[in-house]
Chain A
Amino acid sequence: NAGVTQTPKFQVLKTGQSMTLQCAQDMNHNSMYWYRQDPGMGLRLIYYSASEGTTDKGEVPNGYNVSRLNKREFSLRLESAAPSQTSVYFCASSEATGNNQPQHFGDGTRLSIL
């Protein structure tokens, strides 16, 4: 029962390095999301993909890029990591976008930028 799988689980980077976080879902969901979770701030949406071939900015997209490689996979790239991007990153998926669609989450990637 894999659901949403994120890799890696942990990563430490130096300022300025680049990194791609991988996400794959096996539920045949159309929509996928990337969030960051910071203490006291809940989850904030970085980017989302309503369907294969489309991506849109969320609440906090600056410093990130995404690629919806196919229906299963949605990657998040940090081109030049900054300490402010130290966070826990969650990927999620849902059957479709829409106000009433619950999301299924991966276990997160804990990223530290030194």
Chain B
Amino acid sequence: AQSVTQPDIHITVSEGASLELRCNYSYGATPYLFWYVQSPGQGLQLLLKYFSGDTLVQGIKGFEAEFKRSQSSFNLRKPSVHWSDAAEYFCAVGAFGDMRFGAGTRLTVKP
């Protein structure tokens, strides 16, 4: 069965620093991959998605993610973090008509 692993439960970065959130998936073929962000008390908002083609995808709010088939990874990156990026981030894989979410990575941004 497909699964998603986000190895980092909590990450703290300084404002202005770069960010990389890790996501590894388990699936037999090329999956459909998503990153969502959840602010406190809110639902999930789609940041970006990968279906096929160019392995570097751009999303909203200055985020990007790179699909690496050889590593079964889909890591999320941002060159310069803003205080408003503090939130919880979820990686998800869509396969077999089902969507599986990782457990999430909580991002804290230090001033």
Which chain A residues have a beta carbon within 8 Å of chain B's beta carbons?
Answer: 4, 40-45, 58-59, 90, 92, 97-108
Bound Cα distance from A108 to B103, whole angstroms: 17
Q: How far is the CB of A46 from chain B (nearest CB, A)?
A: 12
Say whether A105 contacts B44, CB under 8 Å.
yes
Contact-size category for B: 20 to 34
Consensus secondary structure, chain A interface: loop
Q: How far is the CB of A98 from chain B (nearest CB, A)?
A: 6
Q: Give the chain B neighbours of A103 by CB distance below 8 A.
A: 44, 46, 99
Q: Give the chain A neighbours of B71 by CB distance below 8 A.
A: none
Q: Give the chain B neighbours of A41 by CB distance below 8 A.
A: 103
Q: Give the chain B neighbours of A43 by CB distance below 8 A.
A: 44, 90, 101
Q: How far is the CB of A9 from chain B (nearest CB, A)?
A: 9
Known contacts A40-B103, A99-B32: A105-B45 contact under CB 8 Å: yes
Within 8 A of A (CB), among B1-22: 4, 9
